[in-house]
Structures are given as structure tokens and as C-alpha cells.
């Protein structure tokens, strides 16, 4: 079974919710015209990333009427987009919603909030507490927002709970220069994407934004990596681009037959050892 995915490598405007919502509708229209089954946007695609003190004004519950155009658009194409969620306890979260057939299927709240260097997530947002697998158009999926994917426990947890896809929406700034002159951030992300995909035998769908905020440039380079480690499709760096890729659900099965690491994984031993190390077991 094949699912056609569209990655909207776009440049959200900082703090301009209405303008970004209109931008989403344009990109969704382009993805629909390309016969995509799903269009996925970067982290905080509806608000911009460095929102700082604007976070409270831009926040809304996942069921807010302001998101109705996204809900309506999802009636004939699945939509995965980033927003600032105000939770039931009034805390703010960096969130990514997944809508399908006119209803909200899943909301992931970013768990790992980088608060170092040029990042200040922990100052304005509360961390999420869950990693849930849900039924996406491409198969069982989990969402890892930017920094989440840098923690190996996250894709591992998703794979151990049946995921065959990890969607990773990001707002990754370009930093550093790797050996050979490539962008350091890009080299690290591509190595990570391929490693997770091949050794957990799942699809990694990395969705990065472009554009500038507060003098910071976001580098793009969105990509889809298959469970055999093959780069299915990759967007250019620093340019807006609608990237199309196919997800072959049957390929996951073939790769897991050939390379049964997930099948043979002993999650029970991992849990027991972690519990013992944390003092939660006898």
C-alpha cells in the first residue's frame, strides 16, 4: 500500500497567525492538486518559532474555532500542522496536530524543550508528557517535534509501540560548518534520520522550515528516509519547496523480515533496567 506525502517546506511569518493560516490553505491546495494523501508542515507553522512573549496571545486549545479552516481542509487530505496549544491546565505547549476526515486524530506536545544556546523553549512553554502512536494515512505513526528526535528514546519508544513512521516537524536553524564545507546542522540531522530509519526499520519524515527570524536562518533540507536507509526525497536547502514522496507500507514489512531488530528487541529488559537504575524496582 502506497501513501503519497507532501512536505510543505515553508517560511511562516513570526506572530502572524491569520497570514500563516492563509499560507497553510495555499500549500494544502498545492498538495491536493498533486494528489497527496497527507500534507505536513514544520514546527509552529501557524505562529513562527521565536514567538517569545507573543506565545500567550497566539495560543489556542486544539479544538479552537481558529483552527476550523485546517479541520475543514482535512476532509479530503490529511493535514499535520504546528501551533501553540493552551492545555486544559492553562499551560502553553509547542504542539503538532494531525487532522483527518474533518477531525483531530492526535496532538503531540513537544517533550524536550531546548533551553540553551540560541534556544529558549523552556522559558515560555511546558513540556509534553506522552509519546502516542496513532493511525496515520501512511500507517501507525508517532510525532517527534525537533529536539524530541535528538533523544534516542523517542523513536525507540515509537518503534517499540508499533510505529512504522516518525513524523519530525522542526524549526532547525543552520549552524556550524562540517568537514567538506557542508552545513553542520544538516550533516547531523541527515545522519540521525538515516540511522533511525535503518535500525528501527521505519520511515523518518523530517519537515524543516526556511526563512529568517531575529537574524536566525532556518535551513530547510526536509527529507523522507525509508526503512532501508534510502533517502526517498530531499528538499533543497534555504528554499521554500513542496516535496513529494511515497511511503510504501509493504516495504516496512519486507525490511523487518530482512532485518528483525525491532522484532527481537527486549523492551521488557530495557524497562526493568531503567526502573532499577531510577530506584523504582526492588
- Per-residue pLDDT tens for 242-253? 999 999 999 999
Task: Report the percent of the chain where pLDDT is more than 90.
Answer: 93
Virtual CA dihedral for 30, 132, 200, 266, nearest 10 degrees? -170
What is the reported pLDDT for 176? Answer: 56
Q: Which pLDDT band holds residue 172 (cuts at 50, 70, 90)? A: very high
- Give the span between the Cα atoms of 98 and 233, in whole angstroms: 22
What is the reported pLDDT for 43? Answer: 98
Query: Across all residues in the chain, what is the average pLDDT?
Result: 95
pTM score of the predicted model = 0.96
Task: Report the percent of the chain where pLDDT is more than 70.
Answer: 96
Name the helix (H) or strand (E) containing 21.
Answer: helix 17-33
Sign of dihedral through CA atoms 11, 143, 176, 113?
positive
Whether residue 184 has pLDDT greater than 80: no
- Give the span between the Cα atoms of 50 and 171, in whole angstroms: 10
Instruction: Report how far apart, in Å, the C-alpha atoms of 143 and of each of 81, 97, 130, 135, 149 are.
Output: 11, 9, 10, 12, 9
SS3 142: strand
What is the reported pLDDT for 180? Answer: 54
Amino acid at each position: 500500500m502506497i501513501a503519497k506525502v507532501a512536505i510543505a517546506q515553508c517560511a511562516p511569518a513570526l506572530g502572524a497567525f491569520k497570514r500563516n493560516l492563509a499560507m497553510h490553505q495555499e500549500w494544502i491546495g498545492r498538495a491536493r492538486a498533486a494528489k497527496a494523501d497527507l500534507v505536513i508542515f514544520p514546527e509552529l507553522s501557524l505562529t513562527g518559532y521565536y514567538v517569545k512573549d507573543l506565545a500567550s496571545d497566539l495560543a489556542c486549545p486544539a479544538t479552537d474555532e481558529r483552527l476550523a479552516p485546517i479541520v475543514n481542509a482535512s476532509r479530503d487530505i490529511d493535514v499535520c500542522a504546528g501551533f501553540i496549544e493552551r492545555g486544559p491546565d492553562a499551560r502553553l505547549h509547542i504542539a503538532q496536530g494531525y487532522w483527518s476526515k474533518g477531525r483531530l486524530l492526535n496532538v503531540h506536545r513537544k517533550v524536550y524543550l531546548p533551553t540553551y544556546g540560541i534556544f529558549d523553549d523552556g522559558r515560555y512553554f511546558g513540556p509534553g508528557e506522552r509519546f502516542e502512536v496513532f493511525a496515520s494515512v501512511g500507517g501507525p505513526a508517532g510525532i517527534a517535534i525537533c529536539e524530541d528526535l535528538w533523544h534516542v528514546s523517542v523513536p525507540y519508544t515509537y518503534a517499540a509501540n508499533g510505529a512504522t513512521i516518525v513524523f519530525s516537524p522542526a524549526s532547525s536553524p543552520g549552524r556550524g560548518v562540517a568537514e567538506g564545507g557542508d552545513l553542520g546542522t544538516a550533516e547531523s540531522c541527515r545522519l540521525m534520520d538515516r540511522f533511525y530509519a535503518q535500525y528501527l526499520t521505519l520511515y523518518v519524515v523530517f519537515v524543516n522550515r526556511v526563512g529568517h527570524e531575529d537574524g536566525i536562518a532556518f535551513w530547510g533540507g526536509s527529507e523522507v528516509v525509508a526503512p532501508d536507509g534510502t533517502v526517498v526525497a530531499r528538499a533543497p536547502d534555504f528554499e521554500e519547496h513542496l516535496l513529494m514522496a511515497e511511503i510504501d507500507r509493504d516495504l516496512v514489512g519486507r525490511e523487518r523480515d530482512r532485518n528483525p531488530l525491532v522484532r527481537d528487541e527486549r523492551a521488557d529488559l530495557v524497562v526493568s533496567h531503567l526502573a532499577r537504575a531510577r530506584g523504582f524496582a526492588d
